[in-house]
Amino acid sequence: MTRTALPPLHMFLALAVVAVWGTNFVVIKWGLADFPPLTFAALRFAFAVFPAVFFLKRPPVPIWNLAAYGVLIGVGQFGMLYIAMTHWISPGLASLVVQTQAFFTIGLAMLLTGERVKPFQIVALALAASGLAWLVTHMTAEVTALGIGLVLIAAMSWAGGNTVQRSGQAPNMLAYVVWASVFSAPPLFALALISEGWPVVSQSVINASPAAWAAVLWQSIGNTIFGYTAWGWLLARYPTATIAPLALMVPIFGMGASALLLGESLTSTKLIAAALLLSGLALNTFWPSIGARLQLKR
* 14-64 tens-digit pLDDT: 999 999 999 999 999 999 999 999 999 999 999 999 989 999 999 999 999
Tell me the angle at which helices 250-262 and 8-32 cross, rounded to the nearest 10 degrees. Answer: 50
pLDDT of residue 197: 97
Residue 294 has pLDDT above 70, yes or no: no
The distance of Cα 250 from the centroid of its chain, to the nearest Å, equals: 9
Within-domain flag for 66: yes
Asked if the structure places residue 281 within a domain, the reply is no
Q: What confidence tier does 12 reach under pLDDT thresholds 50, 70, 90? A: very high
pLDDT for position 118: 81
The candidate with the shortest Cα–Cα distance to 242, out of 251, 250, 234, is 234
Percent with pLDDT over 70 in the chain? 95
Domain for residue 191, yes or no?
Answer: yes
Residues paired with 283 in a beta bridge:
none
* Within-domain flag for 290: no
Q: How many CB atoms lie within 10 A of CB 290?
A: 11
Residue 1, pLDDT above cutoff 50: no
**What would the mean pLDDT of 259-267 be, rounded to a whole number?**
91
Confidence of residue 217 (pLDDT cuts 50, 70, 90): very high
Average pLDDT, the chain: 89
pLDDT (tens digit per residue) in 140-166: 778 899 999 999 999 999 989 888 988
Q: Please give the residue range of the domain that contains residue 51.
A: 10-113+141-265
At residue 235, the 3 state secondary structure works out as helix
Nearest Cα to 209, choosing from 68, 69, 33, 38?
Answer: 33
Please give the pLDDT value at position 108: 85
pLDDT the model gives residue 290 = 72
Q: Is 280 contained in some domain?
A: no
- What per-residue confidence (pLDDT) applies to 291? 65
Averaged pLDDT, 244-263: 89
pLDDT tens figures, 183-209:
999 999 999 999 999 999 999 999 999
The SS3 of residue 142 is coil
In a domain, 291, yes or no: no
Q: Is the pLDDT of residue 2 over 60?
A: no
Residue 119 vs residue 146, higher pLDDT? 146
Q: How confident is the model at residue 295 (pLDDT cuts 50, 70, 90)?
A: low
The reply to whether 122 falls in a domain is: no
pLDDT in tens, 67-93: 999 999 999 999 999 999 999 999 999
| 166-173 contacts at long range (C-beta below 8 A, 24 or more positions apart) | 167/65, 168/59, 168/61, 168/62, 168/65, 168/66, 168/69, 169/61, 170/59, 170/60, 170/61, 171/59, 171/60, 172/56, 172/59, 173/228, 173/229, 173/231, 173/232, 173/233
- 6 pLDDT exceeds 60? yes
Domains contained in the chain, number? 1
Local confidence band at 240 (pLDDT 50, 70, 90 cut-offs): low
Indicate whether 64 belongs to any domain: yes
